[in-house]
Structure 1
Amino acid sequence: MAASAEGPEEAQESRQEPAGLYLDYGYGSHVGLRRELNEDSSVITDTLFAVADGMGGHEAGEVASALAVQTLADGWNRAEGRVSRDQIQAYLGEADQRIREATDSKAGTTVSGALLEDHEDGLSWVVFNIGDSRTYLYEQAELRQLTRDHSQVQDMFDSGLITAEELHSHPQRNVITRALGAGEMWDADFTTAAVRAGQRLMICSDGLSGELTDDEIGRILGAGRNAQDTVDWLIHQSLRAGGRDNVTVVVVDVQQQDVQQQDARQQDVQQHDSPKQDGPPQED
């Protein structure tokens, strides 16, 4: 599958088979109830997923977020999907430069996402973050935020100046301290997590995390719906909670193939690869 950088209103579900596992994913975006433009963008590939939340107004934020995800998609395609952590940082540096040139440094964007990386000792998520878009991991009925917000209120909370409850309501909650295309800080934070069957990874803009609590998000992620239905439900609930900002959500499920699935897929591959088949080669 070629990488695709998505605009605000796209949604679909697909799958890939890494080492006996397969990924089901869904994604979607909504302008919200109080904004005229959707400045969020996302990139969806077989192994790389990310959400960017632009800022700058007058369509400049939309340009910034689109350039961020397009640069990631372009890099993934050039590398034919074999991307490392160092390459992600290089792509982000390239995106920063492209945004500054396109907007005269008057717009910026957050970006958060995850890369599925295959090592000798197994698969891992390489999670990256700039700004206050977030990546979460839901596993064994527990929700864990894998990223730390680069925001003024997060710094205040870490310093003990405000409470966890004030994070959602503080007047400075939208002031970020790190972004692509603007300011002096744009390096990403990275973290890793082992990949296991049964995991559910979620990436979102602050249009979701600013409206729903972690408990509310965890309840929806754990309700047993498939990835795309879960995305749609999360977006719906964020709108019901106020919809004050654009909201974009990506959900990726890690699932184990059973024996019958693996046999069926192997048979399908053999059928397509058989030199005895008549006519032109078929494509999936």
Structure 2
Amino acid sequence: MTARWCTGAGATATGDRPRNEDAFLSSGPVHVVADGMGGHLAGAAASSVVVEAFRALTDLSSVQPDDTVLAVARAQEGVERLSERVGGSSGSTLTGAIAVEHDGQPWWMVINVGDSRVYAIEGGSLSQITVDHSYVQRLVDRGDITAEQAEVHPERNIVTRAIGDGIRDFDAWLVPARPGLRLVVASDGLMKALSDARIASIASLAGEVSLAAGRLVDAALDADASDNVTVVVADTLHADTDRSADPYPWRVWGVGRDEDDTTVTGRRREPV
């Protein structure tokens, strides 16, 4: 079901960095981006481990939300094992959109850990779905600074949550799979280089997904991107759903363990 109503493609570039520590996967129902933590050991290896944790979902004819929960758990455990092997701390962000079936309806399950982002674009208008796990976002939430001030804050690169930091919870939202909905999944290198208005303009006018992803990366490079830049663009082609009138019914999901500490389970909280 899921692979038939969506399509996606990605692009990546090193930018003004010695190596690319980003990774992405855009195949079938899975469209994710991971940004290896630059201040940690094996950042590139960590981001690769994260995206590979989702590869098993690409061959499924129907992905359930719990499949995504388990994939996040695999990513967390994989990065933790990597840290043990390298004898230090490795980490990565994770963000993306998984085409899932829930209550018999098609949805995008948008997931996030860290400060990479997922945007929704409809009718040329852009809205940010994910919420950054960052120090400056905390300041914005408290009302200490504005969103505009956060973009130039000297500590804007401090991430407060990452895959591999031992925290099992992650954020997720169920977004109705409305025909014409375009999602832009990106590492923070894109947002450092381009404004939301510029991202919306390029993504809305570029046409098919591979062209849109490539043009966003090229625009970031033209703007002298100081970081790795990775973008995945995913489109809803068509979807039979009776939830198209709902704006964004968000639900937060998390990952926990049974008492014997061996079985990973999902737990759903109330809508927020």
After TM superposition, the score normalised by the length of structure 2 is 0.80
Report if aligned partners of 1:211, 1:241 keep a CA contact under 8 Å in 2: yes
State whether residues 130 and 186 of structure 1, in contact with CA within 8 Å, keep that contact through their aligned partners in structure 2: no
Whole-angstrom distance in 2 between the partners of 1:229 and 1:133: 21
Alignment of 1:36-55 (within 5 A): 36-55=18-37
* 1:277 alignment partner in structure 2: none
Q: 2:131 aligns with which of 135, 142, 148?
A: 148
1:131 and 1:37 map into 2 onto residues whose CA distance is 20
- Which stretch of the first structure deviates more once superposed, 90-99 or 241-250? 90-99
Given residue 177 of structure 1, which amino acid in structure 2 is its aligned partner?
Answer: T
Matched, 1:228 2:210: yes
What does 1:129-148 align with in structure 2 at a 5 Å threshold? 129-148=112-131
Task: Give the alignment partner of residue 110 of structure 2, picking from 127, 135, 142.
Answer: 127
Higher Cα Rg, which structure: 1
Gaps of 5+ in 1: 1-14, 258-284
Conservation of the 8 A alpha-carbon contact between 1:56 and 1:106:
no
| Structure 2: stretches of 5+ with no match in the other structure | 240-272
State the percentage of identical aligned residues: 35
The aligned residue for residue 9 of structure 2 is: 26
Distance 1:100-1:221 versus aligned 2 partners, 3 A rule = same
C-alpha deviation, 1:227, in angstroms: 1.4
Give 1:143 shift.
0.8
The residue number in structure 2 matching 1:85 is 65
Candidates 195, 204, 209, aligned match of 1:213: 195
CA distance in 2, matches of 1:238, 1:47: 26
1:35 aligns with 2:22: no
Cα distance per residue 1:71-130 (max 9 Å; x no partner): 1113x15x7343322232222222212212212351100000111112455311111100
**Alignment root-mean-square deviation, CA:** 2.1
- C-alpha separation between the residues in 2 aligned to 1:91 and 1:163? 35
Quote the Cα distance in structure 2 between the aligned partners of 1:94 and 1:125.
Answer: 20
- 1:94 pairs with 2:74: yes
Per-residue deviation, 1:211: 1.5
Q: CA–CA distance in 2 between the matches of 1:121 and 1:81?
A: 14
Give the secondary-structure state (helix, strand or coil) at the position aligned to 2:120.
strand
The amino acid that maps onto 1:68 is V
Partner of 1:9: none
Equivalences for 1:1-284 in 2 at 5 Å?
Answer: 16-18=3-5, 23-32=6-15, 34-56=16-38, 60-74=42-56, 76=57, 80-104=60-84, 105-119=88-102, 121-182=104-165, 184-256=166-238
Secondary structure of residue in 2 paired with 1:165: helix
> Does the residue aligned with 1:222 lie in a helix, a strand or coil?
helix
TM-score (norm 1): 0.77
Aligned to 1:260: none
C-alpha contact (below 8 Å) 1:52/1:205 kept by paired residues: yes
CA displacement 1:260-283 (0-9 Å, x = unmatched) = xxxxxxxxxxxxxxxxxxxxxxxx
Partner of 2:266: none
**CA–CA separation in structure 2 for the residues paired with 1:136 and 1:51:** 13
Residue 178 of structure 1 and its aligned partner are, at CA, apart by: 0.6
C-alpha distance in 2, partners of 1:222/1:238? 16
